[in-house]
Structure 1
Amino acid sequence: MADKETMKTSGNPNAFQSPMHKVWAIQMKVFLNVHKVWDTIDPGATDDDKNNIAIALIYQSIPEATIMQVGNLDSAKDIWNPIKTCNLGADRVKEARLQTLMNEFDGMRMKDTETIDEFVAKLSCTASKAASLGEMIKETKMAKKFLSSLPRKKFIQIVASRTNFGSQNCWV
Structure 2
Amino acid sequence: MAIVPHGAGGSTVSMAMPMLTPSNYTVWAIKAEAILDAQNLWEAVSPAGDAAVYAGKNKMARAVLFGALSKDLLMQVSMKKTATEVWASLKTRFVGADRVQAARLSTLRGEFDNLRMEEGEALDAYAGKIGGMAARYAGLGSTLGDAAMVKKLLDTVPDRLYAAVAGIEQFRDVDTMAFDEALSRLKAFDERLRRRTQDNGGRGGDQLMFTAAQWEARQRTRWRRGKCYNCGVRGHFSRDCRQPKKDKALIADVDEEPGLL
Query: What TM-score range do you get, normalising by the shorter chain?
Result: 0.7 to 0.9
Alignment equivalent of 1:162, drawn from 162, 165, 172:
165
Structure 2 alignment gaps of length 5 or more:
1-16, 175-261
Please report how far the alpha carbon of residue 103 of structure 1 lies from its aligned counterpart in structure 2 after TM superposition. 1.5
What is the distance in 1 between the residues matched to 2:73 and 2:30?
18
C-alpha distance after superposition, 1:14-57 (max 9, x if no partner): xxxxx633122222222222332222221274655422111110
Aligned to 1:2: 18
Q: Is the 8 Å Cα contact of residues 20 and 90 (structure 1) preserved in structure 2?
A: no
**Number of aligned residue pairs:** 155
Q: Deviations over 1:108-166 (max 9, x none)?
A: 012235322111111001012223434333323212211222233xxx1x223324x36
- 5+ residue gaps, structure 1: 10-18
Is the contact between residue 44 and residue 55 of structure 2 (CA under 8 Å) also seen in structure 1?
no
| C-alpha spacing 1:145/1:87, structure 2 compared with 1 (3 Å) | same
Give the structure 1 partner of residue 60 of structure 2.
53
Q: Which residue of 1 aligns with 2:41?
A: 37
Q: Is the 8 A contact 1:148 1:159 kept in 2?
A: no
1:138-153 to structure 2, matched below 5 A, reads: 138-152=145-159
2:94 corresponds to: 87
Whole-angstrom CA distance in 2 between matches of 1:102 and 1:90: 18
Residue 106 in structure 1 maps to residue 122 in structure 2: no
Structure with more relative contact order (C-alpha pairs < 8 Å, separation 6 or more)? 1
Q: Report whether the alignment pairs 1:137 with 2:150.
A: no
Q: Which of structure 1's runs of 4+ aligned residues deviate more than 4 A?
A: 44-49
Q: What residue is the counterpart of 1:12 in the other structure?
A: none
1:119-138 aligned within 5 A: 119-138=126-145
1:23 matched residue in structure 2: 27
Distance in 2 between residues matched to 1:150 and 1:143, nearest whole Å: 11
3-state SS of the aligned residue for 1:51? Answer: helix
Q: CA deviation at 1:59?
A: 0.5
Report % sequence identity: 32
Provide the rounded CA distance (Å) in 2 between the counterparts of 1:36 and 1:89. Answer: 28
Cα 1:23–1:171 shift into 2, 3 Å: closer
TM-score, normalised on structure 1? Answer: 0.76
Tell me the alpha carbon deviations over residues 68-125 of structure 1, each in whole angstroms, 9 at most, x when there is no partner.
0111121111111010222222222222222221221111012235322111111001
Q: Supply the AA of the counterpart residue of 1:159.
A: Y
Q: Separation in 1 of the partners of 2:84 and 2:28?
A: 15
